[in-house]
């Protein structure tokens, strides 16, 4: 019947509005729920979300060794040419020539933090860091070389 | 005892002892005008800050907390910024209408201040058609919005103004009918009569069901009339940039902004007067001791307390509900609020005749 449907609609509408108002009143009275980070003030205690991606880095161990084999998978995966792998030839102790990376050039200014390079890497050589204060006065500082000077590939990583 | 009416009487006697009656009247009118403008400025600062803090807390944010202690000077800083900004008039605009539209909005708000009773015996003009005057003058507001929208020579502005026209014309009806409920119960249009009729209890308690329904309709209708979310179709920043005041900048924009908050204050003051007893203290039947304690609280505090409670209610709506579409807006008025408030008015009339209220 029309009139019953009408009253039901009014009742349902009012009820759903009241549910919403109850929720916002809860937030209004419970200030501990506030999620605002007062950023420059809380710099020391700032905790970033786990999934936050700030820049690509290459972890080195204490013997200055990294895990990068120079396979170029990251360079191929990158959608906008952010990563360049530059090679050099190394001599192994047996006297053979072996291909190794000279420099892994990373252009932070081009990077969109899409994480595709990290996913493409077969030997887990690169990962995403959580730093986010990237501003510099000279653009050249944004072009980074990820492997440390004089670093070598870790033993056992092929 | 300290009270507004006491100060006003002292001032009147002092002025009468110096000047003749005509000059006394002129000076008192000027003083009243200055006081109203001062109240506007004060209310603008307080309400903008209150809105921002309420909004922030409801949305789990902190809100302005940098300028001054606890961000208390934020709205003062904003005012300063708006004063020094350039008041631009677009080339294609109708210059005269464009420039007077914000002032009409302010004049309407000033006119509405006349019949409001701020404290016991403290009222600018206690005319015998106070409620009618309020509902008549408040609909002039739409003229300033239409004027601003039309003269801006901008599609968004015109669209916002047209929406606002449809909206205010519709919601005037249910606002008027819910005000009539109280007029029927009181039997008078005079603001002071309406307040005195609530000496034994506010209408929201004495009038039970019909007054509750009228109160809810009133709050919804005045939210729509003041163009605030969820009925802010005239502004609709996400679809019409800022609706009728898209082209305004600097102080002319500030006047529109101020007029919105003044209007919110006025409609809440009217709501508090009609439903919550204006400056009447809270009394419970025969509990004489309790009633005496309540009488000690100054009447101005009762009035402003009730008004700010209603303002908070309207802000609470604003930050909880999503904006209505134009067809939903008109459906809500013509299919729900208007029939309900019409039947409610009949119910209230029957109640007033048969004496079913307390």
Tens of pLDDT along B57-90?
Answer: 888 888 888 887 888 888 888 888 888 888 788 8
CB < 8 Å to B220, chain A = none
Question: pLDDT (tens digit, 9 = 90+) per residue, B173-198?
Answer: 888 888 888 888 888 888 888 888 88
Residue with tokens 């077969």: A122
Q: What is the pLDDT of residue B2?
A: 67
- Of 3.30.1540.20, 3.30.70.3270, 3.40.30.10, 3.40.50.12240, the CATH number of A55-153 is 3.30.70.3270
Q: Tell me the CB-side half-sphere exposure of residue A125, using CA atoms within 13 A.
A: 28
From residue A63, give the alpha-carbon distance in Å to each of A94, A127, A144, B191: 22, 19, 21, 87
Q: What is the pLDDT of residue A125?
A: 86
Alpha carbon distance B225, B228 (integer Å): 8
Q: What is the pLDDT of residue B358?
A: 67
Alpha carbon distance B121, B9 (integer Å): 10
Nearest C-alpha in A relative to B58: A28
Interface of A with B in 32-91 (CB under 8 A): 33-36, 38
Nearest C-alpha of chain B: how many angstroms from A8? 12
Q: What is the pLDDT of residue A137?
A: 92
Q: Which of A10, A24, A36 sits opposite B320 (nearest CB)?
A: A24
Question: pLDDT (tens digit, 9 = 90+) per residue, A45-79?
Answer: 888 888 888 888 888 888 888 888 888 888 888 89
Angle between helices B208-225 and B299-318 (to 10 degrees): 70
A123: confidence class by pLDDT, cuts 50, 70, 90: confident
Interface of B with A in 319-338 (CB under 8 A): 319-321, 336
CB < 8 Å to B319, chain A = 24
| Beta-carbon separation of B57 and A34 below 8 A | yes
Q: What is the pLDDT of residue A130?
A: 87
Higher pLDDT, B357 or B126: B126
Query: Over 60: is that where the pLDDT of B1 sits?
Result: no
Angle between helices B299-318 and A2-29 (to 10 degrees): 110
CB < 8 Å to A25, chain B = 316
Q: Which two tokens stand for residue B93?
A: 């605009």
Instruction: Output the 3-class SS for chain A.
Output: CHHHHHHHHHHHHHHHHHHHHHHHHHHHHCHHHCCCCCHHHHCCCCCCCCCCCCEEECCCCCCCEECCCCCCHHHHHCCCCCEEEEEEEEECCCCCEEEEEEEEEEECCCCCCCCHHHHHCCCCCCEEECCCCCCCCCHHHHEEECCCCCCEECCCCC
Taken as a whole, chain B contains a residue count of 358
Choice among A6-20, A87-101, B214-228, B260-274 with the minimum mean pLDDT: A87-101
The domains of chain B are located at 76-354
Nearest C-alpha in B relative to A26: B58
Q: What is the pLDDT of residue A158?
A: 67
Q: Which two tokens stand for residue B88?
A: 């631009």
Query: Over 70: is that where the pLDDT of B331 sits?
Result: yes
Mean residue pLDDT across chain B: 84
| Beta-carbon separation of A10 and B336 below 8 A | yes
Q: What is the pLDDT of residue A19?
A: 92
Alpha carbon distance B109, B29 (integer Å): 17
Nearest Cα to B249, choosing from B19, B64, B90?
B90
Query: Over 80: is that where the pLDDT of B35 sits?
Result: yes
Q: What is the pLDDT of residue B137?
A: 87
Q: What is the pLDDT of residue B29?
A: 85
Query: Over 70: is that where the pLDDT of B289 sits?
Result: yes
- What is the DSSP-derived secondary structure letter of residue B190? -
Distance of CA B17 to the CA centre of its chain: 37
Flag whether residue B58 sits within 8 Å of chain A, measured between CB atoms: yes
| Beta-carbon separation of A34 and B62 below 8 A | yes
Query: Over 60: is that where the pLDDT of B315 sits?
Result: yes
Mean pLDDT of A82-103: 78
Percentage of chain B lying above the pLDDT 90 cut:
0
Flag whether residue B57 sits within 8 Å of chain A, measured between CB atoms: yes
Nearest C-alpha in B relative to A14: B216
The domains of chain A are located at 2-35, 55-153
Q: What is the pLDDT of residue B131?
A: 87
Mean pLDDT of B6-21: 81
Query: Over 80: is that where the pLDDT of B288 sits?
Result: no
ipTM passes above 0.85 = no
């Amino acid at each position: 019947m029309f009139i019953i449907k009408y009253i039901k609609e009014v009742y349902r509408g009012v009820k759903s509005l009241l549910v919403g108002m109850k929720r916002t009143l809860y937030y209004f009275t419970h200030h501990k729920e506030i999620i605002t980070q007062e950023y420059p003030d809380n710099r020391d205690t700032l905790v970033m979300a786990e999934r936050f991606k700030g820049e690509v880095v290459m972890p080195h161990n204490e013997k200055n060794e990294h895990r990068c084999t120079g396979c170029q998978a990251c360079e191929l995966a990158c959608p906008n040419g952010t990563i360049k792998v530059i090679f050099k030839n190394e001599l192994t102790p047996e006297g053979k020539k072996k291909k190794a990376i000279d420099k892994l050039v990373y252009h932070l200014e081009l990077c969109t933090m899409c994480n595709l390079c990290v996913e493409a890497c077969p030997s887990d050589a690169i990962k995403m860091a959580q730093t986010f204060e990237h501003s510099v006065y000279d653009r050249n500082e944004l072009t980074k070389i990820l492997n440390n000077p004089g670093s070598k590939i870790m033993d056992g990583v092929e | 005892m300290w009270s507004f009416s006491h100060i006003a009487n002292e001032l009147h006697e002092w002025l009468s002892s110096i000047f003749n009656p005509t000059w006394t009247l002129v000076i008192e009118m000027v003083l009243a005008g200055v006081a109203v403008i001062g109240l506007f400025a004060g209310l603008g600062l307080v309400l903008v800050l209150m809105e921002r803090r309420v909004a922030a807390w409801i949305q789990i944010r902190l809100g302005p907390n940098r300028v001054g202690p606890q961000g208390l000077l934020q709205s003062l800083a904003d005012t300063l910024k708006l004063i020094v900004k350039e008041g631009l008039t677009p080339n294609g605009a109708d210059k005269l209408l464009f420039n007077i539209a914000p002032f009409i909005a302010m004049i309407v708000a000033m006119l509405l201040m006349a019949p409001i009773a701020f404290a016991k015996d403290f009222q600018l003009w206690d005319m015998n058609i106070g409620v009618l005057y309020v509902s008549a003058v408040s609909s002039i507001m739409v003229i300033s919005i239409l004027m601003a929208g039309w003269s801006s020579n901008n599609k968004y502005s015109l669209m916002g103004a047209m929406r606002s026209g449809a909206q205010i014309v519709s919601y005037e009806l249910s606002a008027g009918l819910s005000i009539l409920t109280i007029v029927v119960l009181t039997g008078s249009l005079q603001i002071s009569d309406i307040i005195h009729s609530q000496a034994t209890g506010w209408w929201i308690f004495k009038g039970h069901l019909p007054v509750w329904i009228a109160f809810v309709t009133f709050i919804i209708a005045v939210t729509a009339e003041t163009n605030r979310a969820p009925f802010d179709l005239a502004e609709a920043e996400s679809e019409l940039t800022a609706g009728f005041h898209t082209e305004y900048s600097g102080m002319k924009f500030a006047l529109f902004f101020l007029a919105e908050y003044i209007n919110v204050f006025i409609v809440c003051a009217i709501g508090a007067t009609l439903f919550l007893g204006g400056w009447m203290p809270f009394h419970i039947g025969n509990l004489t001791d309790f009633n005496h304690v309540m009488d000690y609280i100054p009447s101005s505090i009762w009035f402003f307390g009730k008004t700010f409670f209603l303002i908070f209610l309207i802000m609470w709506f604003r930050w909880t509900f999503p904006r209505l579409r134009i067809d939903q807006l008109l459906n809500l008025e013509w299919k729900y609020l208007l029939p309900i408030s019409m039947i409610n008015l009949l119910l209230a009339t029957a109640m007033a005749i048969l004496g079913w209220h307390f």
